[in-house]
Amino acid sequence: MIVVLTGAPGAGKGTQAELLAKRGGFKKLSTGDALRKHVKAGTSIGKLAGAVMERGELVSDELLFSILREELALLSEGELILLDGYPRNIAQAEALDSLKSTHPVKAAILLDVPRQELVARLSGRRVCGGCGATYHVKEQPSKVAGICDKCGGELSQRPDDSPSSVNVRLDIYEKATRPVLEYYRKHGVFREVVGVGDPESIYGVLRDTISGF
């Protein structure tokens, strides 16, 4: 069973997916994380995807579907899966539906955040190269600038969080991903959750929304 967590880049999908995995009994599957692992490991997929990701564009649907199946195969059957970052367009939503005999979509939840707030969040985001912890230069700074509180690793900006890539990603979201919301609305599995505010309160609403299905 799959719950799709959707929303623009910077909406907080990663943070909420983390909380749902820790406390809500979900297995988190993030296609962005899977791709970044390939890039870091220098695999052939990573080489194909890396430059596209840096520009903030979408990697090909074929490559993503094969990554999705690969990641799903690593999880046990009957697992409750939280999908973060897929589908990002209608073709991907249809591809996911082709797996419905084993992986039906139970719910699709939008974390809704205004664009102005998204730009501020993404441009200030810093990520630890060691453990992957995320910070924000203004909202959630590390104790020592540039150093991770958790593991002492070095913090840096994701290449696709640069101002030019952020705008490309938000435009692609509006054009390609927003129609997916309507797709799930028509399937009767769509809900919206306000993604602005304290992450704990957002988590509470999100968890109750998912339980309502």
- List residues with catalytic annotation: 13, 88, 125, 158, 169
Judged on CB neighbours under 10 Å (0-12, 13-18, 19+), 63 is: middle
Q: Which of 24, 71, 81, 88 binds ligand AMP (CB under 6 A)?
A: 88
Q: Considering only residues 5, 7, 86, 135, which one is a binding residue for ligand AMP as defined by CB under 6 A?
A: 86
Question: Rounded to an integer, what distance in angstroms lies between the CA atom of residue 153 and that of residue 132?
Answer: 9
Interacting stretch for ligand AMP, rule CB under 6 A, among 16-24, 84-92, 106-114, 149-157?
84-92
Residue 21 as a binder of ligand AMP (CB under 6 A): the answer is no
Q: Among the candidate windows 28-36, 70-78, 131-139, 204-212, which touches ligand AMP by CB under 6 A?
A: 28-36
Taking CB under 6 A as the rule, does residue 6 contact ligand AMP?
no
Helix boundaries (H) for the chain: 13-23, 31-41, 44-55, 61-73, 90-97, 115-124, 163-172, 178-186, 199-211
Question: Structure tokens of 13?
Answer: 């999908």
For the chain, what's the residue count? 213
Are 25 and 80 in contact by the 8 Å Cβ rule? The answer is yes
Our finding on whether 52 is near ligand AMP (CB under 6 A) is: yes
The contact set with ligand AMP (CB under 6 A) reads 9, 31-32, 35, 52-53, 56-59, 64, 85-86, 88, 92, 160, 169
